[in-house]
A and B are shown apart, each in its own frame.
Chain A
Amino acid sequence: MRELVMVKYGEIALKGLNKGTFEDILVKNIKRRLRYCGKFQYMRKQSTIYIEPVGECDLGEVIEKLKVIFGIGAIQRCAVFEKDFEQIKSQGVPYLENALKNAKTFKVDAKRSDKSFPMKTPDIQMELGGAILEAYPHLSVDVHEPEVTVMCEIRDKGAYVSAERIIGAGGMPVGSSGKALLLLSGGIDSPVAGYMMAKRGLIVDGIHFVSPPYTSERALMKVETLCEKLTSYCGDVRFYCVPFTEIQEALRDNCPEEYFTIIMRRLMVKIANIIAQRNEYGALVTGESVGQVASQTLKAIQCTDAAAEFPVFRPVIGMDKKEIIEIARKIDTFETSTLPYEDCCTVFTPKHPKTRPVLDEIIKAENLFDFAPLIEKAVEGTTVKLFRTEGNGEQ
């Protein structure tokens, strides 16, 4: 008996003439994620991607991988039969044993897109339902809230029977909406922000600022681990590591203490601007959430925003810490994020930071020193690392 996995589109199904482009990206993403699971034959038809293994393969593992790929609405593992109802009945019913043996209620949902098939949809549902009841007498039919819904689809290339429908990750395929640069501090919020933008189809790459000796090598290792974890959702992640010590020391020596944090953030954004420009990114992403800390008040966000030359996406802006943590746990970044290493944001934290900074004053304070040469030097000294999806190491 042949088995395959059907991948049904999420939002892409609603696209118009450009649907094909989105489909191409999704198929490419799926192929890349499954490259170490075995050999597969891919077929695209009727808003569905058919993934059929060629030779030995663990379909359970395939489904686990598919579950985290954005752009997928639902995943179905099914058996393939000839379009012959006797065969569907005689082989399909035993195939369903695992799904049905512990259930109490079920229904059969049939679809017949191949109208040349001799039976009508209600007939398929009734006949197959009857055969299932006969084989598993402990079951009863519940068409409103069944525990298990058995799908039987008569399509162009064959008949498909399945009882396992898994909700996909939703969203848009990564790469279908452009590239964005994520400011990664190592905290809880920024990886979540990256995950959320990847869900909208953005390629998300990370940028991080290091200030040795004020920050330790371990803090950098921690951010790299976060990048690695993000690859399971975001695909390959490019990681820019910016040397920031000189800028922070210049800031400390030349600017008023209460403005340290705001100016530092503005300088980070300015560096991100340049890197984004040179590498064709279309947006910056941060993990800011209104009111969480002094640098994330409305006034402070206005000041950092003014330094940006790209749209700044803040997908967690309206979320509570609790909600953010929930997602961080789901995407497995929480434990890493909470390791206790100093990051550069906290190196020169003022005792009493300005919570309601005025942009003019900030710019005046920032202009007390010419940061431009140091910014250029930091950009020059930036190192890039590539984290590949499927954990096949870095380059």
Chain B
Amino acid sequence: MIYLDNAATTKPCEQAIKAAADTARNCFGNVSSLHKLGIESEKLMNSASKTLLNKLSCKGTIYFTSGATESNNLAVRGVADAYKRRGNRIVTTAMEHPSVARVMDALEKQGFEIVRLSPKDAIDNFEQYIADNVTKDTILVSCMAVNNENGFRVDTEKLYRLVKSANNDTVVHIDGVQGFCKVKLMGDLISISAHKIHGLKGIGALYCADKIRFSPLVYGGGQQKNLRPGTEPVELIASFEAAVKAYPTDLSHYGALNRRLRERLGRMEDVYINSPDNSVDNILSFSVLGVRSEIMLHSLEEHDIFVSSGSACSKGKISSVPDSFGLSADRADSTIRVSFSMETTEDDIDRLADEIENGIARFRRTKSKSRAKKGNDI
């Protein structure tokens, strides 16, 4: 099996599985319990918090959540509610994951002014473009660090600096799901998820800087400063920590894989790279013109190669991301997203490229004339 869909989810690493099992067996106490089992669990959770903060190189608090969808909801909704007296404007982008974008839609209905910026309008200096849209009454900027569908990268340190100099009171939320452990993240609030870095599904976190406020989504027994109540899942939290610790720091391997795939694709006729120049190395999006994504995907699947046609969450639905990058309908329709893990080998890349070539030969037999025409207008 060649698994090249690591932006959708990753294979849990042994360390994460072991940590979860060990904790479930040996350290199952409720963090809120007064006795020593509770204290053991609390220690475990504190250690995980520290590991995550270290990895982020940030000071502040970690709130454990059920995953990044919850983290994003908590951050955006929570900040809008907590700061609504201060202003009414929220600046975000047109490439956000639905767990941010749909919350924005809901806030818009409540009366917030939502500004959605497209990378295509300022692809070379998107950070500045976002900051330029920050006004006196902008309470929140929410932007993803790495786009899940094409790997486009926003320099969050630069963004943070520019936004704060435009309005020091504006809260910066970063959806760091695809960026965590891969690029430097900076923000007042950062959403992360374990299963994208070889952890287990069902656990994520929201980092919150000191002095930043947000309102809770649910109410309960006071856990996690009452901002995210509910008994803490220590097993999952411990496995999250183990996954973070196990994630490699030298990521130059991704660069090699990326170059190799680009080189192979470059030799194919009518195959175009969709990932912008400043994208991360572990995600590469391209279009095989004349072959619809789903067909190529299933054909690769027949050879035990697993890729994505875009974002796995959208399963059959049309995503707004291609449009926000100015991709034509033909290219959007034939998009393949490949995302690597550290286990991916150059051999895997070669086999993928071979099968794409075979697929092209098999599926592009008709409509060659119209394809040549389409190729030119991009």
Contact = CB atoms under 8 A, between A and B. Distances in A.
Contact of B298 (A212, A252, A340): A212
Interface in A342-376: 342, 348
A214 B365 contact: no
Contacts of A216: 294, 298
B366 interface: yes
A214 B316 contact: no
Interface in B294-308: 294-299, 301-302
Given A212-B298, A213-B295, A213-B298, A253 B317 contact: no
Interface in B326-371: 362, 365-366
Interface in A247-290: 249, 252-253, 257
B366 A257 contact: yes
Contacts of A95: none
A252 B366 CA distance: 8
A341 interface: yes
Interface in A290-345: 339-342
B366 A340 contact: no
Contacts of B302: 212-213
Main secondary structure of the interface of B (DSSP, over half): helix
Interface residues of A, number: 15
Main secondary structure of the interface of A (DSSP, over half): loop
B277 to A, nearest CB: 32
Nearest to A341: B316
Contact of A213 (B301, B365, B366): B301
Interface string A206-238: 000000111110100000000000000000000
Contacts of A257: 366
B295 A252 contact: no
A213 B299 contact: yes
Contacts of A340: 316-317
Given A212-B302, A213-B302, A342 B294 contact: yes
A340 B296 CA distance: 18
A387 B159 CA distance: 57
A253 B368 CA distance: 13
A252 B295 CA distance: 15
A2 B368 CA distance: 76
Contacts of A342: 294
A348 B298 CA distance: 16
Interface string B134-154: 000000000000000000000
* Residue in B297, B299, B317, B366 whose Cβ sees the most chain A Cβ within 10 Å: B366
Contacts of B298: 212-216
A33 B294 CA distance: 40
* Residue in B295, B297, B362 whose Cβ sees the most chain A Cβ within 10 Å: B295
Interface in B259-300: 294-299
Interface string B35-77: 0000000000000000000000000000000000000000000
Nearest to B297: A213
Contacts of B317: 340
B370 to A, nearest CB: 8
A252 B365 contact: yes
Contacts of A212: 298, 302
* Residue in B298, B299, B301 whose Cβ sees the most chain A Cβ within 10 Å: B298
A214 B295 contact: yes
Contacts of B362: 249
B232 to A, nearest CB: 36
Given A213-B295, A216-B294, A342-B294, 20 more contacts: A212-B298, A212-B302, A213-B296, A213-B297, A213-B298, A213-B299, A213-B301, A214-B295, A214-B298, A215-B298, A216-B298, A218-B316, A249-B362, A252-B366, A253-B365, A257-B366, A340-B316, A340-B317, A341-B316, A348-B366
Interface of A: 212-216, 218, 249, 252-253, 257, 339-342, 348
Interface of B: 294-299, 301-302, 316-317, 362, 365-366
Q: Which 7 A-B pairs have the closest CB atoms?
A: A213-B298, A213-B299, A340-B316, A214-B295, A213-B302, A216-B298, A213-B295
21 contacts: A212-B298, A212-B302, A213-B295, A213-B296, A213-B297, A213-B298, A213-B301, A213-B302, A214-B295, A215-B298, A216-B294, A218-B316, A249-B362, A252-B365, A252-B366, A253-B365, A257-B366, A339-B316, A340-B316, A341-B316, A342-B294
